[in-house]
Amino acid sequence: MTKIARDGSNVTDADWKFRQNASNFARQGYAIRGLLNASLLARATDGETTVGDITGSVVCLDKDASARPGFVVSASGQIGLVCQSCGEAFEFPVDSQSVVHVARDEAELASWEDEAFESIGGDEKTSALELVEDELLLAIPYVPRCEKCEAMGEDAPVSREFS
Protein backbone atom coordinates (compact mmCIF):
# COMPACT_ATOMS: atom_id res chain seq x y z
CA MET A 1 0.00 0.00 0.00
CA THR A 2 1.44 3.32 -1.01
CA LYS A 3 1.60 6.16 1.40
CA ILE A 4 -0.59 9.10 0.55
CA ALA A 5 0.06 12.39 2.22
CA ARG A 6 -2.86 14.75 2.07
CA ASP A 7 -3.11 18.40 2.97
CA GLY A 8 -2.72 19.04 6.66
CA SER A 9 -0.92 15.83 7.42
CA ASN A 10 2.68 15.82 8.51
CA VAL A 11 4.73 15.13 5.45
CA THR A 12 8.02 13.59 6.46
CA ASP A 13 11.35 13.46 4.63
CA ALA A 14 10.67 9.76 4.12
CA ASP A 15 7.44 10.60 2.28
CA TRP A 16 9.33 12.90 -0.06
CA LYS A 17 12.09 10.36 -0.63
CA PHE A 18 9.80 7.36 -1.11
CA ARG A 19 10.56 5.90 -4.54
CA GLN A 20 7.69 4.34 -6.42
CA ASN A 21 6.32 3.82 -9.91
CA ALA A 22 5.46 7.11 -11.58
CA SER A 23 1.93 5.82 -12.18
CA ASN A 24 1.30 6.10 -8.42
CA PHE A 25 1.65 9.89 -8.60
CA ALA A 26 -1.16 9.96 -11.15
CA ARG A 27 -3.52 7.89 -9.01
CA GLN A 28 -6.70 9.71 -8.09
CA GLY A 29 -6.34 11.34 -4.68
CA TYR A 30 -2.56 11.48 -4.61
CA ALA A 31 -1.18 14.74 -3.25
CA ILE A 32 1.94 15.68 -1.35
CA ARG A 33 2.72 19.27 -0.42
CA GLY A 34 5.08 20.97 1.96
CA LEU A 35 8.32 22.69 2.71
CA LEU A 36 11.51 21.01 1.61
CA ASN A 37 14.55 22.20 3.44
CA ALA A 38 17.91 22.66 1.76
CA SER A 39 19.37 19.43 3.16
CA LEU A 40 16.85 17.43 1.13
CA LEU A 41 17.64 19.33 -2.04
CA ALA A 42 21.28 18.31 -2.34
CA ARG A 43 21.14 17.89 -6.11
CA ALA A 44 20.08 21.53 -6.58
CA THR A 45 22.77 22.94 -4.33
CA ASP A 46 25.94 21.92 -6.09
CA GLY A 47 28.40 24.55 -7.26
CA GLU A 48 27.50 28.11 -6.35
CA THR A 49 23.77 27.57 -6.05
CA THR A 50 22.17 27.68 -2.62
CA VAL A 51 18.55 27.06 -1.75
CA GLY A 52 16.39 28.37 1.05
CA ASP A 53 13.18 26.63 1.99
CA ILE A 54 11.36 25.50 -1.10
CA THR A 55 7.67 24.73 -1.15
CA GLY A 56 7.02 21.74 -3.34
CA SER A 57 4.05 19.68 -4.37
CA VAL A 58 3.10 16.75 -6.53
CA VAL A 59 -0.64 16.44 -7.13
CA CYS A 60 -2.45 14.01 -9.42
CA LEU A 61 -4.40 15.40 -12.36
CA ASP A 62 -8.14 15.11 -11.99
CA LYS A 63 -9.15 12.33 -14.35
CA ASP A 64 -12.35 14.18 -15.31
CA ALA A 65 -10.39 17.27 -16.30
CA SER A 66 -7.56 15.62 -18.20
CA ALA A 67 -7.63 13.22 -21.13
CA ARG A 68 -4.41 11.56 -19.98
CA PRO A 69 -3.38 10.53 -16.50
CA GLY A 70 -0.61 12.53 -14.94
CA PHE A 71 0.36 14.89 -12.18
CA VAL A 72 1.32 18.50 -11.58
CA VAL A 73 4.67 19.15 -9.95
CA SER A 74 5.52 22.55 -8.52
CA ALA A 75 8.44 24.25 -6.80
CA SER A 76 8.51 27.74 -5.35
CA GLY A 77 10.81 29.69 -3.07
CA GLN A 78 14.10 31.54 -3.15
CA ILE A 79 17.38 30.25 -4.46
CA GLY A 80 20.76 31.96 -4.22
CA LEU A 81 22.80 32.32 -7.41
CA VAL A 82 26.04 34.01 -8.38
CA CYS A 83 25.84 36.45 -11.28
CA GLN A 84 27.96 35.28 -14.21
CA SER A 85 28.61 38.86 -15.32
CA CYS A 86 29.61 40.70 -12.12
CA GLY A 87 30.20 37.87 -9.67
CA GLU A 88 27.71 39.19 -7.09
CA ALA A 89 25.50 36.76 -5.20
CA PHE A 90 21.81 37.41 -5.67
CA GLU A 91 18.45 35.96 -4.71
CA PHE A 92 16.40 34.43 -7.46
CA PRO A 93 12.70 33.75 -6.91
CA VAL A 94 11.38 30.48 -8.29
CA ASP A 95 7.73 29.77 -8.90
CA SER A 96 7.48 26.97 -11.37
CA GLN A 97 5.06 24.23 -12.22
CA SER A 98 4.74 21.55 -14.86
CA VAL A 99 2.18 19.01 -15.92
CA VAL A 100 3.68 15.57 -16.49
CA HIS A 101 1.62 12.89 -18.22
CA VAL A 102 2.12 9.26 -17.27
CA ALA A 103 2.21 6.66 -20.03
CA ARG A 104 0.82 3.13 -19.53
CA ASP A 105 3.80 1.51 -21.21
CA GLU A 106 6.83 2.01 -23.44
CA ALA A 107 4.74 2.03 -26.61
CA GLU A 108 2.49 4.79 -25.36
CA LEU A 109 5.47 6.77 -24.09
CA ALA A 110 7.15 6.44 -27.51
CA SER A 111 3.96 7.61 -29.23
CA TRP A 112 4.12 10.84 -27.19
CA GLU A 113 7.68 11.59 -28.19
CA ASP A 114 6.77 14.44 -30.53
CA GLU A 115 4.16 15.96 -28.23
CA ALA A 116 4.85 19.25 -26.49
CA PHE A 117 3.92 17.98 -23.04
CA GLU A 118 6.25 16.36 -20.54
CA SER A 119 5.84 12.64 -20.01
CA ILE A 120 7.20 9.74 -18.01
CA GLY A 121 6.73 5.99 -18.20
CA GLY A 122 4.32 4.62 -15.60
CA ASP A 123 6.81 2.03 -14.37
CA GLU A 124 9.68 4.48 -14.03
CA LYS A 125 10.72 4.71 -10.38
CA THR A 126 10.90 8.19 -8.93
CA SER A 127 10.10 10.10 -5.77
CA ALA A 128 8.15 13.29 -5.08
CA LEU A 129 11.49 14.78 -4.00
CA GLU A 130 13.16 13.98 -7.33
CA LEU A 131 10.20 15.41 -9.23
CA VAL A 132 10.27 18.68 -7.28
CA GLU A 133 14.05 18.82 -7.55
CA ASP A 134 13.86 18.41 -11.33
CA GLU A 135 11.30 21.21 -11.48
CA LEU A 136 13.60 23.42 -9.40
CA LEU A 137 16.65 22.63 -11.56
CA LEU A 138 14.67 23.51 -14.69
CA ALA A 139 13.84 26.90 -13.21
CA ILE A 140 17.48 27.82 -12.56
CA PRO A 141 18.87 29.90 -15.43
CA TYR A 142 21.69 28.29 -17.35
CA VAL A 143 23.63 31.55 -17.17
CA PRO A 144 22.54 33.30 -13.96
CA ARG A 145 22.58 37.10 -14.15
CA CYS A 146 21.63 39.56 -11.43
CA GLU A 147 18.89 42.12 -12.11
CA LYS A 148 21.39 44.92 -12.64
CA CYS A 149 23.39 43.04 -15.28
CA GLU A 150 20.18 41.68 -16.80
CA ALA A 151 18.96 45.27 -17.18
CA MET A 152 22.16 46.28 -18.98
CA GLY A 153 21.09 43.75 -21.53
CA GLU A 154 22.42 43.80 -25.03
CA ASP A 155 26.15 44.54 -24.60
CA ALA A 156 26.64 41.89 -21.97
CA PRO A 157 29.02 39.17 -23.13
CA VAL A 158 26.79 36.16 -22.44
CA SER A 159 23.68 35.40 -24.43
CA ARG A 160 20.29 35.81 -22.81
CA GLU A 161 18.68 32.50 -22.18
CA PHE A 162 15.80 33.82 -20.13
CA SER A 163 14.00 37.11 -20.39
C-alpha 55/C-alpha 76 separation (Å) is 5
Q: Which of 66, 122, 54, 63 shows the shortest CA–CA distance to 91?
A: 54
Site string for Zn ion, 122-161 (x = CB under 5 A): ------------------------x--x------------
CB of 82 to Zn ion, least distance (A): 9
C-alpha 23/C-alpha 126 separation (Å) is 10
**Dihedral sign of CA atoms 124, 40, 47, 137 in order:** positive
CB of 13 to Zn ion, least distance (A): 35
Cβ proximity to Zn ion, 42 vs 89, nearer residue: 89
- As beta bridge partners, residue 96 has 75
Q: Which of residues 40-99 bind Zn ion (CB under 5 A)?
A: 83, 85-86
Cβ proximity to Zn ion, 50 vs 66, nearer residue: 50
CB of 83 to Zn ion, least distance (A): 3
CB of 14 to Zn ion, least distance (A): 40
CB of 147 to Zn ion, least distance (A): 8
Cβ proximity to Zn ion, 117 vs 162, nearer residue: 162
Q: For the chain, list the strands marked E by DSSP.
A: 20-21, 31-36, 50-60, 70-82, 89-103, 118-121, 125-126
Cβ proximity to Zn ion, 8 vs 47, nearer residue: 47
Q: How many residues bind Zn ion (CB under 5 A)?
A: 5
C-alpha 64/C-alpha 43 separation (Å) is 35
Cβ proximity to Zn ion, 19 vs 148, nearer residue: 148
C-alpha 142/C-alpha 115 separation (Å) is 24
Residues that bind Zn ion (CB under 5 A): 83, 85-86, 146, 149
